Amino acid sequence: LDISQDVGVANEGVLAVGCKYVDHEDISGTGAVYLYALPSGDLIRKQISPTPGNVDEFGWDVHLDNGMLLVGSPRDDDLFVGRGAAFLFDVQSGEHLRTYLPYDTDDTVPDEFGRSVFMRDGIVIVGDPYATVPDSEGDSVGEAGQVHVFDRDTGDELARLHAETPYTEQLFGWSVGIDGDTIYAGTWRRFNFNTYFGPDDPRVERYDATTYERKPHEKVLDLPQVDMTLTERHALTQKT
């Protein structure tokens, strides 16, 4: 099994493990989420997408909160090929409660909405890292990424968050989270694959979870040099 990058643990004693390429019946690589009871480890169920398709990557990211399971399926074809979706389920019954989709838009490329998911206090946030977004001049920036904020219960989109300075292949929204009154959105890539441009180019941006306004940057790691390769950066972070 190709296990997802994330597992979610709820206070109710449930463990959710995403396996994004597992087969189901005659559907190849559609993905699934396995729910286990804690501390026994007994299998509760294998949760399948309500609209399974080949290589949907259902279970790429998962989150548990308040008796509900949120699952990202970044290659789901509900809108069109590879556009992505996120699904909400009742943990105990397995009932499909809601589907969240990126109703943007004219964008018909595989943006992989659902690559990251998180929910808390009645809101759902979904990363859309390959989305094309406008920059400050109104020009389109390919694969810059965005984050969608939804009302968990109605499915209404409340906000759409962009990086302060979008750039091509930024993949903003690769990771998302909520802590207190703050939404966090992570970026996968810097300005290019090989060079790190220092602490003034933040990997994570923060937003108010009520107003959705961007918060000031926080320097997470004070690096001693401005230009370094990713290999050098990795070696440094292993020492910190």
pLDDT digits (tens, 9 = 90+) for 95-107: 999 999 987 655 5
172-204: per-residue pLDDT in tens? 898 999 999 999 998 876 544 444 444 445 578
In which region does residue 68 sit, left (phi positive, over 0), alpha (psi from -120 to 50) or beta (all else)? beta
How far is 18 from 137, CA to CA, in rounded Å? Answer: 39
The SS3 of residue 80 is: coil
Both tokens of 222, joined, read 């004070």
Least confident of 67-71, 215-219, 232-236: 232-236
CA distance 68 to 117: 13
Of 214, 220, 182, 178, nearest to 198 (Cα)?
220
Query: What radius of gyration, in Å, describes the C-alpha atoms of the chain?
Result: 18
Percent of the chain with pLDDT over 90: 43
Residue 37 amino acid letter: A
**Which residues have C-beta within 8 Å of that of residue 189, sequence separation ≥ 6?**
169, 170, 171
SS3 of residue 65 by DSSP: strand
As a whole number, mean pLDDT of residues 232-237 equals 42
What pLDDT, on the 0 to 100 scale, is given for residue 198? Answer: 41
Please tell me which residue, 240 or 26, carries the higher pLDDT value.
26
For the cut 90, the answer to whether the pLDDT of residue 125 exceeds it is: yes
Separation CA 94–CA 154 (nearest Å): 19
**Tokens for 122?**
């009645």
CA distance 170 to 214: 18
Q: Tokens 């968050």 belong to which residue?
A: 161
Report how far residue 154's alpha carbon sits from residue 173's, in angstroms, rounded to the nearest whole number: 22
Q: What is the pTM of this model?
A: 0.81
